[in-house]
Structures are given as C-alpha cells and as structure tokens.
Amino acid sequence: MNIILLGYPGSGKGTLAKDLSKTLDMVHVSTGDILRDEMAKKTPLGTEATSYMAGGRLVPDRLVMDMLKARLGTESRGLLFDGFPRTVAQAEALDAWFASRGQEIDAVVFLNVAESVVMARLGSRRTCTGCGKIYNVVSNPPAKEGVCDVCGKPLATREDDKVEVITRRIQVYKDQTEPLLAYYRASANFLEADGGKTPDAVTRDVLGLLRVKP
C-alpha cells in the first residue's frame, strides 16, 4: 500500500505518520526529515536546501525528486509520504515514477485542521534531537521538561518554527500545496479526516477510513 498525507504545516502529518507506519509496517517518508538530515550532514543537497528551508520556502522540485529516487529506488515496502508531494509538478512526477514501477497510490489522506489551530501548534512544538519524537509543550509535553521520554536526548525547537517563518510556510502551503487538493479530490482514493481531534482519535479515524476502502 502507498499512502500520501496532505495538510497544513502543523496539521499533524508527522505525528500520524509515526503511528501509521508502525501499525501498517510501512516506510515513513518525510521529505522534511530527510532534508534536515542532509543539512545536518552538510551534504551538497543539504547545503543547497538550507536557505529555502530557513525561509519557509519550498526546496526546488528537481532536488526533491532526485533525493527521493536515490533513497527509495530499491525500496519494496509500502511508502507513507509525509510532506510530499507539495506541488502539482511533484504529484505528476510521483505519478510517472509509480507508473514506471508498475505501482499506484492507494490512498490520499487530507488532515483537515483550521489555520488558527496549526499556528498555535507549531509555536509550541518541540522535537527530540535523538529519535525525532514530536512533542507539544501545551498538548503533549514530555514527563521531564526538555528531555525525550523515549531516548533521554534533549528536545529542540525547529529552526523554521519561528512566528515569521511559520506565517510564510502557511502562505506557501496555500499558494503551492493547496492546489493538490483539487488534483487528488476527484480520485476515489481521496480521504478526509478531522485533524483537530486528539492524535489517538485521528489515528483511529484514519485507520477506519483506510479499512473501508475497497
């Protein structure tokens, strides 16, 4: 099974993807996480991506597609895309890539959350510097402040979770990613979930939606 998660920055794609990929034994493909990894390793791709990400703009389609093909070319398990595709050009490139491999997209899940809610969530997000677990100081704090419950490493605020960059990312989503809703909505595989519920309820709802698929 191949699944795409769509939604605003802060709609909960990463939180849901971590749960779903475990439950469904899929590969969690977060282009944001991969790009941050490339940046941390100071690879040529990471260096090229830095200024785009720091400013809340999209990394060019060509770089993202080359990066994914290199990472996923030999992967045979189901793919759970989180943060990809983000432009119509990326969606078309993904369709062509799947077609060349004799595969298809089984579900596109749109997490519907109000803009005011995602603004608040992103301002209070913390991420583990070790295992990547996602926290929220308001709705999902760690047991000990600033420390990951799972691996004990420090938590950090993402570089692009500053108010001015969050505002830019939301505008970029509206301009460049929201058109994907029209691109996918006509398909029988398009599913919509209320991302404003608790993380557990969102996971339960999405699993339910996936099960009722023919």
Stretch that binds Mg ion, among 12-20, 47-55, 97-105, 155-163 (CB under 5 A): 12-20
In this chain, which of 43, 51, 103, 139 binds ligand AP5, going by CB under 6 A?
A: 139
DSSP state, residue 147: B
Stretch that binds Mg ion, among 13-21, 54-62, 147-155, 189-197 (CB under 5 A): 13-21
Residues 6+ apart with CB under 8 A from 16: 5, 111, 195, 199, 202, 203, 206
Asked if 144 and 151 touch (Cβ cutoff 8 Å), the reply is no
- To Mg ion, the closest distance from the beta carbon of 212 in angstroms equals 26
In this chain, which of 32, 45, 108, 109 binds ligand AP5, going by CB under 6 A?
A: 32
Residues 6+ apart with CB under 8 A from 93: 61, 65, 85
Pick 140 or 189: Cβ nearer ligand AP5: 140
- To Mg ion, the closest distance from the beta carbon of 33 in angstroms equals 7
The half-sphere exposure of 42 on its side-chain side, counting CA atoms within 13 A, is: 0
Which x/- pattern, by CB under 6 A, does the window 180-199 give for ligand AP5?
Answer: ---------------x-xxx
In this chain, which of 4, 6, 58, 80 binds ligand AP5, going by CB under 6 A?
A: 58
Question: Which residues of 24-163 form beta strands (DSSP E)?
Answer: 27-30, 79-82, 107-112, 125-128, 134-136, 155-156
Return d(Cα 38, Cα 59) in angstroms, integer.
Answer: 13
Written as one letter, the residue type at 8 is Y
| Distance, first Cα to last Cα, the chain | 13
In this chain, which of 136, 148, 155, 191 binds ligand AP5, going by CB under 6 A?
A: 136
How would you label 196-211 residue by residue, b for 16+ Cβ within 10 Å and e otherwise?
eeebeebbebbeeebe
Which x/- pattern, by CB under 6 A, does the window 66-95 give for ligand AP5?
Answer: -----------------xx-x---x-----
- Partner touching 98 among ligand AP5, Mg ion, none, CB below 5 to 8 Å by kind: none
In this chain, which of 2, 4, 6, 10 binds ligand AP5, going by CB under 6 A?
A: 10
- Partner touching 140 among Mg ion, ligand AP5, none, CB below 5 to 8 Å by kind: ligand AP5
Residue number of the CB closest to ligand AP5 reads: 32
Three-point CA angle 170, 174, 177, nearest 5°: 105
The catalytic residue positions are: 13, 86, 125, 158, 169
What residues line the site for Mg ion (CB under 5 A)?
Answer: 14
